[in-house]
Amino acid sequence: MNSLRDLLQQAQQSGAAIGHFNISDLVLLKAVFAAARELNVPVLVGLSEGEREFVGVRQIAAFVRSLREEFDFPIFLNADHTHSLAKAVEAAKAGFDSIVFDLSALPFQENVRQTKQAVETLKAINPSILVEGEIGDIGTGSEIHDAAPDLSKRLSSPEEAKQFVESTGVDILAPAVGNMHGMLRSMVQGETKKRLDVERISGIKRAARVFLTLHGGSGTDDADLRKAIAAGINIVHINTELRVAWRSGLERGLAKQPDEVVPYKILPSAVEAVKQVVASRLKLFAGERHAAQGI
Ligand SMILES: [Zn+2]
């Protein structure tokens, strides 16, 4: 089986990005895995500290590993937004394939100092683990927001991206390029879209020369996502869109069978709703070459 690093490299060469989908229960995991298998593309599932707290760090690692082994399928596990070295070490020891070490709320130099230390510590536990660092401000909370925060003052610059990557040794960088965690109500209704600063992505890619992740991909304009991938984005994170689909699918399942109490008869509606969102995003991320192959 190819490593996550190899698959990121291959995706980059073919003009594709790997989809990263947050999960916090079996419904979401089943939906992501089913969509990726159907399209036969590698996939990343991620859990933030809160999501890991709910599911169990070692438990989700065992679950994802069992899927990868039984189906010989490239599904990988990411410890999303990890704010302390202790939590990062816990995930690395449990067998996570990558860690997002996120100290972007700290002053730049402090972020550099602690991220460098985390890279060294995590690679000592697992030399092939990929460590992602984050600079700039992309907001918090993959949920529905009433108002957009003003993130324009803390967009990442190519210069700081280069300095951060060279000083820390991260494998992957998460820059702030117009993206934002969560969705506005108008985005859930499809009335507005997030727009990306594609020029800035190109500049950061040229300067930093590492894999780039786009966080907060939910509700982003499709054409902007395609351009961002062409400009050097290698991983796109989607969370809120899945959560919205999870809830509406669950409500539909309950409404269809008002007297049902058997979870595995109610929950397939939620799996199907999430799977549709994942599949449509994976098709978009697969880019030109995969489009020619008919997926
Ligand atoms: Zn994120």
- Give the Cα separation of 8 and 295 in Å (integer): 19
CA of 100 to the centre of ligand 1 (A): 9
CA of 142 to the centre of ligand 1 (A): 8
CA of 215 to the centre of ligand 1 (A): 4
Q: Which of 295, 193, 177, 154 is nearest to 236 (CA)?
A: 177
- Please tell me whether residue 103 adopts helix, strand or coil conformation: coil
- Please tell me whether residue 101 adopts helix, strand or coil conformation: strand
Question: Where do we find the tokens 């190109």?
Answer: 202
CA of 259 to the centre of ligand 1 (A): 38
CA of 218 to the centre of ligand 1 (A): 10
Q: What is the pLDDT of residues 146-199, one digit of tens each?
A: 888 887 778 999 999 999 999 999 999 999 998 999 999 999 999 999 999 999
What is the residue type of 231? A
- Please tell me whether residue 294 adopts helix, strand or coil conformation: coil
CA of 179 to the centre of ligand 1 (A): 10
- Give the Cα separation of 70 and 254 in Å (integer): 32
CA of 192 to the centre of ligand 1 (A): 20
CA of 216 to the centre of ligand 1 (A): 6
CA of 144 to the centre of ligand 1 (A): 14
DSSP state of 189: T
1, pLDDT greater than 90: no
CA of 257 to the centre of ligand 1 (A): 35
Neighbours of ion ligand 1 (CB under 5 A): 215
Task: Quote the pLDDT of residue 288.
Answer: 61
- The answer to whether 84 and 105 have CB atoms below 8 angstroms apart is no
- Give the Cα separation of 79 and 201 in Å (integer): 24
Average pLDDT rounded to a whole number, residues 253-263: 98
Q: What is the pLDDT of residues 231-251, one digit of tens each?
A: 999 999 999 999 999 999 999
User: Rounded to the nearest 10 degrees, what angle do helices 198-208 and 222-231 cross at?
Assistant: 20
- Please tell me whether residue 220 adopts helix, strand or coil conformation: strand
